């Protein structure tokens, strides 16, 4: 300090008992830097994504009807059940409903019901108090239901929800009250429920695998999303979107689709719907030798063995001329069991190839992550 009492300098010293502590500190700092970088990327991605009605691409009569239904039901504070085949865009519809509702400024919390482990259902949905079980955070944590307070709760794959989860969700839907794990204090969450599934609820109710009272709670309004084969007129718009998104991600000029290629795409059955179409167009953009994609580009992909891995392997498994091993004489193999065996083999191979990265595994196999979680659970590989 100088004569006037002002601080003009300071000395600091960091003490470590040994090199091990210094190394541990360095490792922890590197870990924190990595986490900060990850969350910055996630935040940037969330800010750049728009999930309004304009993200639901299509001008066909089926899509016009869907958009009108969303516009009518979104402002009403009632539960909505979105049904339709896998890959039809149920998640986009859920985002649009939330965006057009009075709860738009609050959270839209997403829950994959098929991926909820039975042992962690309560802590994931309802949260927990600090120290309530081994491994719990010291300060406790809000559950997904509590995070959705004043917002919307999107239950994806609700038809695959285990029976014990159905009971717990039904209790919350009755009055909105719940308790955190390790606490007796009642809490309340005021949320709007949006559910989605590609399952046949009528059959599941008859079989006793889905509760009728829960179906009435989640299905006050049911909106069915049309399959791609019901809206073939939208294929040019969807293909153009796929090419633009692909070019933007890779810093390229977008390629164009010929009229012949569009007619080729319209002639396909598309069991995977929009998701399958987008992957198919992107593959054509990768392997096309010019900036103008023709129908021949799709044929080249298939003949070169670049068709979707699951479809290709299923064909080789079920076609005796392409199989390397066949069932023994008199052994009966059904189509469904054969496909399941092929899927399991492909999933195990992809999980090993991508070191358990489920996002990359699902993308490489051309399936949704929710379906991958479901199959991993059936195979005992959910962890």
Query: Which pLDDT does position 382 carry in this prediction?
Result: 66
Query: Which pLDDT does position 156 carry in this prediction?
Result: 92
Token pair in block for residue 372: 């991958």
The alpha carbon of 44 is separated from its chain's Cα centroid by a whole number of angstroms, namely 19
Q: Mean pLDDT, to the nearest integer, of 54-74?
A: 94
* pLDDT value at 82 more than 90: yes
Q: Do domains 231-303 and 318-323+334-379 have the same CATH topology?
A: no
Query: Which pLDDT does position 50 carry in this prediction?
Result: 43
Least confident of 118-122, 146-150, 214-218, 349-353: 118-122
User: In the beta sheet, which residues pair with residue 142?
Assistant: 127
Pairs from 147-151 (Cβ < 8 Å, separation ≥ 24): 147/107, 147/109, 148/106, 148/107, 148/108, 148/109, 148/189, 148/191, 149/106, 149/189, 149/190, 149/191, 150/103, 150/106, 150/190, 150/191, 151/98, 151/103, 151/106, 151/107, 151/108, 151/109, 151/191, 151/192
Query: Which pLDDT does position 326 carry in this prediction?
Result: 46
* pLDDT value at 354 more than 90: no
> Out of 1.10.10, 3.30.70, 1.10.720, 2.60.40, which CATH number does the structure's domain 318-323+334-379 have?
1.10.10
Of residues 20 and 198, more confidence is placed in: 198
CATH 3.40.50.300 fits 53-226, yes or no: yes
* H or E, element range at 42: helix 19-48
Mean pLDDT of the chain: 80
Q: Which of 268, 274, 349, 343 is nearest to 301 (CA)?
A: 268
Query: Which pLDDT does position 330 carry in this prediction?
Result: 46
Q: Mean pLDDT, to the nearest integer, of 3-8?
A: 70
In this prediction, residue 224 has a pLDDT band, given cuts at 50, 70 and 90, of very high
Mutual angle of helices 235-250 and 259-266, in 10-degree steps: 110
Q: Which of 157, 169, 10, 1 is nearest to 85 (CA)?
A: 157
* pLDDT value at 181 more than 70: yes
Q: What is the pTM of this model?
A: 0.65
| Angstrom distance (rounded) from CA 121 to CA 163 | 11
DSSP for 95-160 reads HHHHHTSTTTTS-EEEEEGGG--GGGHHHHHHEE-TTSSTT--TT-EE-HHHHTTTSEEEEETGGG
Query: Which pLDDT does position 353 carry in this prediction?
Result: 79
Is the CB of residue 344 less than 8 Å from the CB of residue 379? yes
> Out of 3.40.640.10, 1.10.8.60, 2.30.140.10, 1.10.3720.10, which CATH number does the structure's domain 231-303 have?
1.10.8.60
In this prediction, residue 136 has a pLDDT band, given cuts at 50, 70 and 90, of low
28-42, 170-184, 259-273, 362-376 — most confident range:
259-273
- Helix, coil or strand: residue 69: helix
Q: Where are the domains of the chain?
A: 53-226, 231-303, 318-323+334-379
What is the maximum span of the chain, computed from C-alpha positions, in angstroms?
103
* H or E, element range at 244: helix 235-250
Query: Which pLDDT does position 213 carry in this prediction?
Result: 93
Query: Which pLDDT does position 304 carry in this prediction?
Result: 31
Of residues 109 and 333, more confidence is placed in: 109
Q: Per residue in 6-58, pLDDT tens?
A: 776 767 666 666 777 777 778 888 878 877 876 765 565 554 444 678 889 99
Residues contacting 334, CB < 8 A, separation 6+? none
Of residues 168 and 157, more confidence is placed in: 157
As a whole-number percent, the residues of the chain with pLDDT over 70 amount to 78
In this prediction, residue 114 has a pLDDT band, given cuts at 50, 70 and 90, of confident
* pLDDT value at 260 more than 70: yes
Neighbours of 328 (CB within 10 A): 7
- Helix, coil or strand: residue 215: helix
Q: Mean pLDDT, to the nearest integer, of 74-92?
A: 94
Q: Per residue in 289-328, pLDDT tens?
A: 888 898 888 863 332 333 344 343 333 333 434 444 444 4
């Amino acid at each position: 300090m100088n004569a006037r009492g002002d601080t003009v300098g300071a000395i600091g010293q960091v003490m470590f008992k040994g090199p091990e502590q210094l190394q541990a500190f360095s490792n922890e700092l590197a870990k924190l830097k990595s986490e900060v970088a990850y969350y910055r990327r996630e935040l940037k991605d969330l800010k750049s994504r728009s999930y309004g009605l304009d993200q639901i691409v299509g001008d066909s009569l089926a899509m016009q009807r869907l958009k009108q239904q969303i516009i009518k039901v979104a402002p009403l504070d009632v539960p909505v059940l979105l049904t339709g085949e896998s890959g039809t865009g149920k998640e986009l519809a859920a985002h649009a409903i939330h965006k057009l509702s009075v709860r738009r400024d609050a959270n839209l919390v997403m829950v994959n019901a098929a991926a909820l482990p039975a042992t962690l259902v309560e802590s994931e949905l309802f949260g927990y108090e600090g120290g309530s079980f081994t491994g719990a955070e010291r300060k406790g944590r809000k559950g997904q239901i509590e995070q959705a307070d004043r917002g919307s709760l999107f239950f994806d794959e609700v038809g695959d929800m285990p029976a014990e989860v159905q009971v717990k969700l039904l209790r919350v839907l009755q009055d909105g009250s719940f308790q955190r794990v390790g606490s007796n204090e009642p809490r309340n969450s005021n949320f709007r429920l949006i559910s989605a599934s590609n399952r046949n609820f009528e059959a599941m109710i008859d079989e006793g695998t889905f509760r009728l009272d829960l179906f009435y709670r989640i299905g006050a309004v049911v909106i069915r999303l049309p399959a791609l084969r019901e809206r073939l007129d939208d294929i040019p718009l969807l293909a153009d979107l796929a090419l633009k998104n692909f070019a933007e991600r890779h810093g390229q000029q977008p390629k164009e689709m010929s009229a012949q290629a569009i007619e080729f795409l319209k002639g396909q059955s598309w069991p995977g719907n929009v998701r399958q179409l987008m992957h198919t167009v992107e593959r054509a953009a990768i392997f096309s030798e010019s900036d103008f994609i023709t129908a021949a580009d799709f044929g080249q992909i298939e003949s070169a063995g670049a068709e979707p891995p699951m479809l290709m392997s299923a064909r080789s498994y079920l076609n005796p001329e392409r199989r390397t091993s066949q069932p023994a004489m008199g052994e009966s193999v059904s189509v469904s069991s054969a496909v399941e065996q092929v899927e399991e083999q492909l999933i195990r191979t992809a999980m090993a190839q991508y070191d358990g990265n489920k996002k990359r595994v699902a993308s490489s196999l051309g399936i949704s992550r929710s379906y991958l979680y479901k199959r991993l659970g059936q195979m005992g590989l959910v962890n």
